[in-house]
Amino acid sequence: MVSSDSVSAHYGKDGDLVDAIAGRLTEAGLEISTLSTSDLASVDEFHIRGRQATLELAERMRLDPASRVLDIGSGLGGPARTLAEAYGCHVTGVDLTPAFCEAAEAMSQWVGLTDRVTFRQGDATSLPFAAESFDAAMTIHVAMNIPAKERMYAEAHRVLKPGAVFAVYDVLQGEGGDVLYPVPWARDPSISHLATPEGMRSLLSGAGFELLDVRDTTDESQRWFEAKLANLSQSGPPPISFQIFLGEDYPEMARNQVRNLGDRRIRTVGYICEAR
Ligand SMILES: C[S@@+](CC[C@H](N)C(=O)[O-])C[C@H]1O[C@@H](n2cnc3c(N)ncnc32)[C@H](O)[C@@H]1O
């Protein structure tokens, strides 16, 4: 199996993800016809510190209702919907995993945002868009599955207009030792490709981006995962959580993330860049 198939199999192996999410929401007493984006945030903002982290990134992206934004590795579409709702902009999401693209479309219909978000299946290392198509782009917790990072960032640069903001928020290799698996992006090292903080700076500048701001949020990430783990230990997995697609080993992944963050085996870092 080639690596990109292994990645989409890791995330999207269960069929009928849309039905599974709809079923959990209904069991939790929510009506699909009256859902708001915040009802979905615990499953569709699939990264550390969830919606809050997306909004913090978005504040630096110079967005307005006329902005055409690209979300690279858009997952279930939560970050794209958050930006579209908060800023009135149009967001295009591209993701490798077909089941996630399908769920992203369905969930956007549920909350009435289909006029402002669109999703298509595609690979970050070969984006299906013309040069200079977007006013801004973001990528959240995606590059850790991608070995060809030079190619990924070169593609982001190609599709952005000169002067556009590129916001990156990723999990990086820390100084505290090897990652303990399973983690939410990989059950073993075969699909995990973490850059180091130093490596990220040269990757982004090598691709033609000027770094305007770098923010290490590892301490906040550790507290966020400790709180998630405490909830999991006390009450078990909530009905609407990443467990719907990550499966039964999600609690073990959460335990490992607390150790990975605490030992600084991983770090979370956000970058605000401008396309030169
Ligand atoms: C941890 S999820 C994050 C999803 C989303 N960015 C979010 O924060 O909610 C990682 C996502 O990266 C996608 N991905 C991994 N490799 C990719 C690639 N080469 N091209 C596009 N998407 C990719 C996966 O399919 C998955 O949806």
Name the residue with higher pLDDT: 234 or 266.
266
The tokens of 88 are what?
A: 């009135």
pLDDT tens-digit series, residues 75-97:
999 999 999 999 999 999 999 99
Q: Please, which residues have CB within 8 angstroms of residue 248's CB and are 6 or more apart in sequence?
A: none
The tokens of 153 are what?
A: 């960032």
pLDDT tens-digit series, residues 116-157:
999 999 999 999 999 999 999 999 999 999 999 999 999 999
Which atom, in ligand 1's list, is nearest to the CA of 97? 25
What is the pLDDT, as a whole number, of residue 232? Answer: 85
Ligand 1 pocket, residue 107 CB under 6 Å: no
**What is the full DSSP assignment across 228-272?**
HHHHHHHH-S-SSSTHHHH-TTHHHHHHHHHHHHHTTSEEEEEEE
- 174 and 265 Cβ atoms separated by less than 8 Å: yes
pLDDT tens-digit series, residues 182-217:
999 999 999 999 999 999 999 999 999 999 999 999
DSSP 8-state class, residue 93: E
Q: In a 3-state reduction of DSSP, which class is residue 215?
A: strand
Ligand 1 pocket, residue 142 CB under 6 Å: yes
What predicted TM-score, i.e. pTM, was given to this entire model?
0.97
- Please check the confidence at residue 1 and state whether its pLDDT lies above 60: no
Interhelix angle 197-206/149-159, nearest 10 degrees? 40
Ligand 1 pocket, residue 185 CB under 6 Å: yes
Which atom, in ligand 1's list, is nearest to the CA of 75? 27
The tokens of 31 are what?
A: 């009506």
φ/ψ of 51, rounded to 5, equals -60, -35
Q: Which residue, among 39, 101, 38, 107, has the nearest Cα to 74 in the 3D structure?
A: 101
Q: What is the mean pLDDT of residues 33-59?
A: 96
Which atom, in ligand 1's list, is nearest to the CA of 46? 9
* Residue nearest atom 17 of ligand 1, based on CA coordinates: 96
What is the pLDDT, as a whole number, of residue 90? Answer: 98
CA pair distance 114, 99, nearest whole angstrom = 18
Q: Which residue, among 143, 162, 264, has the nearest Cα to 200 in the 3D structure?
A: 143
- Please check the confidence at residue 2 and state whether its pLDDT lies above 80: no
Distance 245 CA to ligand 1 centre (A): 13
Ligand 1 pocket, residue 100 CB under 6 Å: yes
What is the best residue among 107, 145, 191, 217 to mutate for testing ligand 1's pocket, by most ligand atoms within 8 Å of CB? 145
- 68 and 74 Cβ atoms separated by less than 8 Å: no
Q: Which residue, among 128, 215, 134, 127, has the nearest Cα to 168 in the 3D structure?
A: 215
The H or E element containing residue 158 is helix 149-159
Distance 221 CA to ligand 1 centre (A): 19
- Please check the confidence at residue 6 and state whether its pLDDT lies above 80: yes
Which atom, in ligand 1's list, is nearest to the CA of 78? 9
CA distances to 97, 226, 258 from 219, in Å: 30, 11, 11
Distance 205 CA to ligand 1 centre (A): 22
The H or E element containing residue 169 is strand 160-173
| Residue that has been written with the tokens 């719907």 in this structure | 244
CA pair distance 89, 155, nearest whole angstrom = 22
Distance 230 CA to ligand 1 centre (A): 26
